[in-house]
Amino acid sequence: MEAWAIPIFVCFFGFIFYIGRLQAKKRTEAMRAIAESLEMEFVAEKCDPNTLGLDGIDLFKKGRSRQVLNLIKGTFEDTNAFIFDYHYVTGGGKNSSHHSQTVIAYEICSKDGSQLPQFTCKPERFYHRFADMFGFEDIDFEQYPEFSKAYRLKGENEDSVRKIFNETVIRQLEAESEQRWNVDGSGELLVIHKNDRIIKPEDCPQFLLDCTTLLNAMTLS
């Protein structure tokens, strides 16, 4: 690199870094305002997802450098709920990839002790067909072919998972299939996010409402 180009190079990346910091600060303040409007607590500091008791969910086992940011927590429709941005890194060096998404998580404390079976529901991908060929099949519903085509559903107890995914749940997820919803459950935890998508602050209340509607439709066992 020519000597005269070095200052330009440094200034350019310094500017990019500054813009990134500015946007991050703007989002933090917007999320703080959303927390206030929902009458929930806001935590700006970074934390590990394990501190929230979420380590039993597949999403929080992926990659490294896992960070929870812009955490909103409190009670929503009588259920303990969390809204936060989640970042992690996969791969290494030039092959590393950064993943960011806004996550809704619930701690379900039902009066009768009902819990969710362990399951993962994520968008179906073409390579999943190869997995099916080798016996790694998912849970399909003959009466809901569009859902089974759009999502890959797996769980340890198939009967319990099928009970959770009733018609109301399936129809809602079918309607959102283009949004790449991921739904994971285990015991008292339900976690929902869209693949590598950060939700705009102003859209977070509606996303929370949509996720809560999905939770309320589930038949706990």
8 A C-beta contact, residue 99 and residue 89: yes
User: Which among 96, 85, 83 is positioned nearest to 37, based on CA atoms?
Assistant: 83
Residue with tokens 């806001």: 42
The DSSP code sequence of 161-192 is HHHHS-HHHHHHHHHTGGGTEEEEEEETEEEE
Chain-centre distance for alpha carbon 196: 8
Residue among 105, 107, 219 at smallest CA distance from 160: 219
| Nearest one of 26, 85, 38, 42 to 206, comparing CA atoms | 38
Distances (CA, A) of 154 to 63, 171, 205: 21, 18, 29
Q: State the sign of the Cα–Cα–Cα–Cα dihedral 23, 29, 33, 39.
A: positive
Asked whether the beta carbons of 136 and 125 are under 8 A apart, the reply is: no
pTM: 0.84
pLDDT in tens, the chain (221 residues): 555 555 654 554 454 443 545 667 899 999 999 999 999 999 989 999 999 988 889 899 998 999 999 999 999 988 999 999 999 999 888 888 899 999 999 998 766 777 899 999 999 865 445 445 444 578 888 899 999 989 999 998 899 999 999 999 999 999 887 888 999 999 999 999 998 899 999 999 999 999 999 999 986 65
Residue 167's pLDDT is 94
Q: In this predicted structure, what is the pLDDT of residue 15?
A: 41
Which amino acid is it at 60?
F
Say what the pLDDT of residue 128 is: 43
- Stated length of the chain: 221
Residues 114/220, Cβ–Cβ less than 8 Å? yes
Q: Which two tokens stand for residue 117?
A: 């079976």
Burial 201-216 (b: 16+ CB within 10 A, else e): beebeebbebbbebbe
Residue with tokens 């559903």: 153
